[in-house]
């Protein structure tokens, strides 16, 4: 794999920061199972929606990466903060890596193609090499729109701060059980949901469009990721705010974007217009 952000010479070196962090969070997720309470579960479910659906799907992915709709800057910032609460890195890092993925999807240079193995695509690519999270100079090449915004630069450099603050708030609200469920278990569930989009939806599912990559539509992954599992649809029409293009393809993020559009909050919403099996991009 070749890219100025992916040094093949580093791929045999363990990324100890990521490996230790993910290991500790998985241990915390297991510990949460021994401290169950209904309020803690409720907090985890709410945060799973807020951080995954608003932060990753509607924010990092459809808004910050693909600009499939426009939103007030304050809402952009809020979605970005929600995104940092997933432990998936800062906005500039996330956007840069995803744009590289689309540029080289399932080709040399793709950071997480299953052609390098299912484990590699799922999380292996994050466990080796040097972390590029704070190398704004390199990341700016792929996310220049975010890199020129001082708030996004700060948030990218210190993306761990919102999660630490959240942990403190949860501890004050409900003690250790709230932290284990609302941070550790919820983060681990969210990570694997996102990682399944990188791995499983390039291996298993149906293909509506003959894209140049291996992307597939997977209804189960779509359910747990607010619609991100309609991945073949997305790769065929990456700037479309709507990923579930058929009536039976449930896409929670698209429903939420439509609600924002109804109230005049989301504007210049871009969708793929379906005519039979052919789609054409247009603004809604």
Q: Where are the domains of the chain?
A: 8-283
Give the per-residue pLDDT at 136: 72
Give the per-residue pLDDT at 274: 72
pLDDT tens for each residue of 69-84 = 999 999 999 999 999 9
Residue 61 has pLDDT above 60, yes or no: yes
Burial of 157 (0-12, 13-18, 19+ CB in 10 A): middle
Give the per-residue pLDDT at 129: 82
Task: Give the C-alpha separation, 235 to 255, whole Å.
Answer: 20
Note the residue count of the chain: 284
Residue 186 has pLDDT above 60, yes or no: yes
**Residue pair 176/35 in contact by the 8 Å Cβ criterion:** yes
Give the per-residue pLDDT at 7: 53
Helices (H), 180-251: 186-199, 219-224, 231-236
Task: Give the C-alpha separation, 223 to 20, whole Å.
Answer: 30
Q: Residue 47, Cβ neighbours under 10 Å: how many?
A: 22
């Amino acid at each position: 794999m070749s890219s100025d952000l992916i040094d093949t010479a580093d791929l045999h070196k363990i990324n100890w920061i990521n490996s230790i962090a993910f290991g500790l969070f998985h241990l915390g997720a297991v510990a949460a199972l021994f401290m169950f309470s209904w309020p803690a579960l409720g907090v985890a479910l709410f945060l799973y929606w807020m951080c995954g659906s608003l932060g990753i799907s509607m924010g990092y992915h459809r808004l910050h990466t693909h600009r499939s709709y426009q939103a007030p800057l304050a809402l952009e910032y809020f979605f970005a903060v929600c995104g940092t609460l997933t432990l998936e890195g800062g906005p500039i890092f996330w956007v840069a890596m995803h744009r590289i993925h689309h540029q080289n999807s399932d080709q040399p240079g793709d950071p997480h193609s299953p052609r390098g193995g299912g484990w590699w695509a799922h999380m292996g690519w994050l466990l080796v090499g040097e972390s590029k999270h704070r190398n704004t100079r390199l990341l700016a090449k792929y996310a220049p729109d975010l890199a020129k915004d001082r708030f996004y630069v700060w948030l990218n450099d210190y993306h761990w701060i919102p999660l630490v603050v959240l942990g403190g708030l949860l501890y004050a609200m409900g003690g250790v059980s709230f932290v284990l469920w609302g941070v550790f278990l919820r983060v681990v569930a969210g990570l694997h949901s996102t990682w399944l989009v990188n791995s499983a939806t390039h291996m298993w599912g149906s293909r509506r469009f003959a894209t140049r990559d291996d992307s597939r539509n997977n209804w189960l992954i779509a359910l747990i990721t607010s619609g991100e599992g309609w991945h073949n649809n997305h790769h065929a029409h990456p700037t479309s705010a709507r990923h579930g293009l058929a009536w039976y393809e449930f896409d929670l993020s698209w429903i939420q974007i439509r609600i924002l559009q109804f109230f005049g909050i989301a504007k210049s919403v871009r969708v793929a217009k379906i005519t039979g099996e052919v789609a054409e991009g247009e603004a809604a």
